[in-house]
Amino acid sequence: MEADKASKEKAIKEYNAESIKVLEGLEAVRKRPSMYVGSTSKDGLHHLVYEVVDNAIDEALAGFCNLIKVTINNDGSLTVEDNGRGIPIEKHVTGKSAMEVALTKLHAGGKFDHKAYLISGGLHGVGVSVVNALSKKMIAQVKRNGVVYEQVYKNGGKPEGNVKSIGKTDETGTTIQFWPDDSIFSIVKFDYEVLEARFRELAFLNAGVKIILKDEIKDKKIEFFSEGGLLEFIKWLNRSKNVLHKPVYFKKEFDHSVVEVAIQYNDGYNEGIFGFVNTINTVEGGTHVSGFKTALTRVINDYADKNKMLKNISITGDDVREGLTSILSLKIPNPQFEGQTKTKLGNSEIKGFVDSITTQALAEFFEENPTIAKKIAQKCAAAGEAREAARKARELVRRKTAMSIGGLPGKLADCSSSKLDETELYIVEGESAGGSAKQARDKEFQAILPLKGKILNVEKAAPAKVFSSEEIINLITAIGTGTGEQFNIEKLRYGKIIIMTDADVDGNHISCLILTLLFRYMPQLIEAGRVFVAVAPLYKIKKGNESHYVYSDDELKKKLDRLGGKPDVQRFKGLGEMNPQQLWETTMDPKERTFKKVTIEDAVEADNVFSMLMGDEVGPRREFIEDHAKTAQLDI
């Protein structure tokens, strides 16, 4: 006790004025990079690109730019070039060039007073300065006033000399080249496919702007350009689906703001509402999406009721969004985003604006297009009837399913701990593997839920059928969060949801079916980083007293070449073939196992991939598999 007291007294004395550290310039960004770009992994790395490209898009929104070139360079750097006005290089009140101030000071930019930019995606003035801070080197070139200006920055945004003239030009624009700092980012390799998905969206959202993406490493190049904007975007989103009508489209302006909406229903059961604010993908929704949902439900309900299409039911929000694909794009002067990564819109007044505009425009469209209106209302009414059938089916399944204490599935072998951060639920294929897993597990924190073979493909099934499936009900009950609008992450029973299937074609198909269920009915679990796929070994190599597990044919060949001689090779046909000790050592022991975390890098692209892989259209699926068979990843 005396030692503790002395230690506290010492700490109190040492906490003085010198303890208060002032981080100069961009030091704060380097100290806490995740505060500014979300993470120091793959997502954060690509956020750097988006910050630079968003500045070029802001020039396009202001009417000064129609060409953006993005190049992944051979030396690991990335270049973004636009033909906008060029960052001002004139002397700033600080005595330095305006460009140096913009690229080395936080909260310095031309987007605060709305004189240079009325509408902008980058509003905090920290975008490119953060990219500079998190780069080993950055080169900024500006074409302006007939001159090409350049300034070089190194080691986290420190200028190497002043802005200098390096030539003459009759063009205008800005070019930013940067090398991300590998002492900060765990990954510094840019992903062509990730950038491709984002730039396709940007081209659709900014009709008339050409975006060129080039990868010098892979020798690939693609150009994006859209004249039709949202109408082309929604057709592209639904290209793998059977649509019920031509797209509904409207655009309204108010108080220097623009609301643009495209709506199209397909004969499926999944919803896809994609919200954008100043071209930023608000993946977590916000007030604009809430206002749109409210108006959509009201207008369709009113139309169906007025035309006597409802049979003792009312249409809910879930009903009107079944089979819906919709894009909601806002361009507003003062968006209030939650956080620098801008995933949710918070402006309270926007909900009412979008609700009012959508209600008026959609009601007018329905009056002028009764055939389309009738198809949509019939689809939603059928969804309401199916929902009632699903509710009755759920209740019936719950009564029939053998339940243990606490209302959990009888097949679930639960763990004893209830601490969320340390508990794990293994979803296991088959009774045989389930038996091995139950013996192999650590009962303290690992729970096992065996499934009978392949679950229902929810991409093709109506909710009534989905919720009539005993296996799916067991899975949803074990996870605990509920689904759809009733989803509540606080009711999650396990910190990790782990899919553990055989390392063969059937096992991969079962994994895909489970992932489809989670993505369509509980996507928040994936967004929260709670879903994993266990990587099971294909072979066990034994030579003398040594045993080695390998996970692919390529790895087997390399291992055998290294070991030499004639070791004993055992091929695992499935998890059920492993004894509990082998299963623990390879796939369940936290110290040795290999997991792949399932992520959704882009909601638009993920929706498209699931529709393509699990839907009815064969052509796009064949093309996708041919393109990705050799480089397939489980990250989504």
* Cα 382 to Cα 385: distance, rounded to the nearest angstrom: 5
pLDDT band, very low/low/confident/very high, at 352 (cuts 50, 70, 90): very high
- What's the pLDDT at 12? 40
pLDDT band, very low/low/confident/very high, at 627 (cuts 50, 70, 90): low
> How much of the chain exceeds pLDDT 70, in percent?
86
pLDDT band, very low/low/confident/very high, at 462 (cuts 50, 70, 90): confident
Residue 145 zone, left/alpha/beta (φ > 0; ψ -120 to 50; rest): left
Catalytic, out of 429, 471, 602, 605: 429
- What's the pLDDT at 260? 96
- What's the pLDDT at 342? 58
DSSP-derived secondary structure for 536-599? --SEEEEETTEEEEE-SHHHHHHHHHHH-S--EEEE-SSGGGS-HHHHIIIII-TTT--EEE--
DSSP-derived secondary structure for 436-465? HHHHHS-TTTEEEEEE-SSPP-TTTS-HHH
HSE-CB for 552 with a 13 A CA cutoff: 5
pLDDT, tens only, 578-588 = 889 989 988 99
* Cα 16 to Cα 191: distance, rounded to the nearest angstrom: 47
Residues in the chain: 636
- What's the pLDDT at 445? 96
401-537+576-631 under CATH 3.40.50.670, yes or no: yes
- What's the pLDDT at 5? 58
Catalytic, out of 193, 318, 442, 504: 504
| Mean pLDDT, range 548-564, rounded to an integer | 87
- What's the pLDDT at 107? 60
- With 90 as the cut, is the pLDDT of residue 31 above it? no
| Mean pLDDT, range 345-372, rounded to an integer | 95
Neighbours of 370 (CB within 10 A): 11
Tokens of 332: 């507003």
pLDDT band, very low/low/confident/very high, at 463 (cuts 50, 70, 90): confident
**Closest by CA position to 203, among listed 223, 220, 180:** 223
Neighbours of 599 (CB within 10 A): 18
Catalytic, out of 502, 585, 602, 605: 502
In a 3-state reduction of DSSP, which class is residue 60? helix
Greater model confidence, 577 or 374: 374
DSSP-derived secondary structure for 384-425? HHHHHHHHHHHHHHHHHS-B-TTS-BTT-B--S---GGG-EE
Neighbours of 385 (CB within 10 A): 16
Residue type at 488? N
Active site residue 181: no
- What's the pLDDT at 23? 42
Q: Which residues contact 257 (CB under 8 A, 6 or more apart)?
A: 330, 331, 332, 333, 353
- What's the pLDDT at 403? 42
Greater model confidence, 530 or 566: 530
pLDDT band, very low/low/confident/very high, at 468 (cuts 50, 70, 90): confident
Average pLDDT, the chain: 85
Q: Are 282 and 304 in contact (CB under 8 A)?
A: no
- What's the pLDDT at 628? 46
* Cα 368 to Cα 221: distance, rounded to the nearest angstrom: 43
- With 60 as the cut, is the pLDDT of residue 109 above it? no
Active site residue 471: no
Tell me the pTM: 0.72
- With 80 as the cut, is the pLDDT of residue 17 above it? no
Active site residue 90: no
Highest mean pLDDT among 54-63, 181-190, 481-490: 181-190
| Mean pLDDT, range 402-420, rounded to an integer | 75
Q: What is the CATH number of domain 27-224?
A: 3.30.565.10
Active site residue 554: no
- What's the pLDDT at 279? 87
Highest mean pLDDT among 10-19, 169-178, 532-541, 617-626: 169-178
| Mean pLDDT, range 43-57, rounded to an integer | 92
Q: Which of 335-349, 395-409, 506-520, 591-605 has the lowest mean pLDDT?
A: 395-409
pLDDT band, very low/low/confident/very high, at 357 (cuts 50, 70, 90): very high
- With 80 as the cut, is the pLDDT of residue 87 above it? yes
- What's the pLDDT at 636? 39
- With 60 as the cut, is the pLDDT of residue 7 above it? no
* Cα 479 to Cα 58: distance, rounded to the nearest angstrom: 43
The ranges assigned to domains in the chain are: 27-224, 243-389, 401-537+576-631, 539-571
Greater model confidence, 389 or 307: 307
| Mean pLDDT, range 531-549, rounded to an integer | 88
Q: Right CATH number for 243-389 from 3.40.50.9100, 3.30.230.10, 1.10.357.10, 3.30.70.260?
A: 3.30.230.10
> How much of the chain exceeds pLDDT 90, in percent?
49
Q: Does 401-537+576-631 match 243-389 at the fold level?
A: no
- What's the pLDDT at 247? 96
pLDDT band, very low/low/confident/very high, at 624 (cuts 50, 70, 90): low
Tokens of 627: 């393109």
- In what side-by-side order are the strands of the sheet with 446-451? 446-451, 424-429, 496-500, 531-534, 595-597
- What's the pLDDT at 491? 92
| Mean pLDDT, range 151-176, rounded to an integer | 95
Tokens of 603: 């909601």
**Closest by CA position to 222, among listed 417, 28, 71, 18:** 71
C-alpha pair distances (Å), 568 with each of 96, 528, 548, 636: 71, 42, 10, 37
| Mean pLDDT, range 316-343, rounded to an integer | 85
DSSP-derived secondary structure for 312-359? S----HHHHTTTEEEEEEEE-SS--BSTTTT-SB--HHHHHHHHHHHH
pLDDT, tens only, 189-239 = 999 999 999 999 999 999 999 999 999 999 999 999 999 999 999 999 998
pLDDT, tens only, 247-306 = 999 999 888 889 999 999 999 888 999 999 988 888 888 999 999 999 999 999 999 999
Catalytic, out of 150, 422, 506, 577: 506
- With 70 as the cut, is the pLDDT of residue 112 above it? no
